[in-house]
Chain A
Amino acid sequence: MSLPNEDNMASQLSSHFFGDLLDSIIVDVASECHRIARLGLDRNLEDEEEELRLSAQARVRVADPSNSGEANSKYVVDIFGQSHPSVASEVFECMNCGRSIVAGRFAPHLEKCMGKGRKARPKVTRSSTAAQNRYSRGSPVSAYSPYSNSTSSNRLSNGTSGVAGEEYSNGTFQEP
């Protein structure tokens, strides 16, 4: 049926067209890679370069003896080149009790000011019942619910201190 010549020619032609198709696809792949490279879309490439650079920098910094002892010195230099005293010295008014507080002592002050007051956390009832209500309604609540369901009062106060803290940070201040 088909002469060997024809067969030969058919093979040749087929190979030719196959090569054609393959070349087109190769150009497509090359074009795609080129685009990704030029647009910086290949995160890995950049990340690796960045990593190399950062580790080189870090190594230099570690090797440099003049930079050591940052923990010891009182004045640390941050990334903007500014230095701060280790204890913040600004004085302002506590929004809860109205006293003038040194900023560096504000956190411990708040603990006492909001937490103890006269008694230890009278807020317990309010926030624990609120949390229990939320829990019983079946809505997914955060970690508050296990705390509110525990029986020991210590746990309760610890747990609701979290709740209370959260509520305070939302801007609701309650009287101790």
Chain B
Amino acid sequence: MRPSVNRPPTPDVQENQEKEPTLQETINIKLIESGEKERLMELLRERLVECGWKDEMKAICRAFIKKKGRNNVTVDDLVHVITPKGRASVPDSIKAELLQRIRKFLVSAAL
């Protein structure tokens, strides 16, 4: 077969590096394609702003920036600075709400 225009059939021609997509990946794709991931992210963003979490994180960033000097800071620095506190300080109610929504999606998508 001429290789130019036709796309080679997917798993065979390439090296079989790609295993079958994991469940996680499949669901991720479904989340994105259906737009649910975006909606969930916006919901989480909104909730985190409402409860002051974002302001807390920004304050931590500002303190770090003041200490280190504003021209010496990288995005990476800031991510590392706020990740542990950020993950730990999400209010339980918000976490529960999001988890429930995700679960609902999983149930509907997996069937």
Which residues of A line the B interface, CB within 8 A?
A: 10-11, 13-19, 21-34, 37-38, 40, 42, 44-45, 48
Contact of A34 among B45, B78, B86 (CB under 8 A): B78
Contact A21 B40 (CB under 8 A): yes
Contact B41 A24 (CB under 8 A): yes
Cα A54 to Cα B99 in complex, Å, equals 52
Give the contact stretch, choosing among B4-12, B13-21, B22-30. Answer: B22-30
Contact of B70 among A14, A18, A28, A38 (CB under 8 A): A38
**20 A-B interface contacts by CB (under 8 A):** A13-B102, A17-B27, A17-B31, A17-B40, A19-B87, A21-B98, A23-B83, A25-B41, A25-B45, A26-B82, A26-B86, A27-B75, A29-B54, A29-B82, A31-B78, A34-B61, A37-B65, A38-B70, A40-B70, A45-B70
Q: Which residues of B contact A30 (CB under 8 A)?
A: 61, 75, 78-79, 81-82
Contact of B62 among A23, A40, A42 (CB under 8 A): A42
Q: Which residues of A contact B51 (CB under 8 A)?
A: none
Contact A26 B23 (CB under 8 A): no
Q: Is the interface of A mostly helix, strand, loop or mixed?
A: helix
Q: Which residues of A contact B45 (CB under 8 A)?
A: 25, 28
Do A14 and B103 form a contact, CB below 8 Å, given A26-B86, A29-B54, A29-B58? yes
CB closest residue in chain B, given A23: B83
Contact B44 A33 (CB under 8 A): no
Contact B75 A25 (CB under 8 A): no
CB closest residue in chain A, given B43: A21
Q: Which residues of B contact A13 (CB under 8 A)?
A: 23-24, 27, 102, 106
Could you give, for residues 50-74 of chain B, a 1 whenever the CB lies within 8 Å of some chain A CB and a 0 otherwise? 0000100110011001100011011
Contact of B73 among A21, A32, A34 (CB under 8 A): A34
CB closest residue in chain A, given B101: A14
Do A10 and B78 form a contact, CB below 8 Å, given A26-B86, A29-B54, A37-B73? no
Contact of B61 among A16, A29, A44 (CB under 8 A): A29
Contact B99 A14 (CB under 8 A): yes
Could you give, for residues 73-104 of chain B, a 1 whenever the CB lies within 8 Å of some chain A CB and a 0 otherwise? 11100110111001100100001001100110
Contact of B107 among A10, A28, A37 (CB under 8 A): A10
Cα A33 to Cα B90 in complex, Å, equals 19
Q: Which residues of A contact B23 (CB under 8 A)?
A: 13
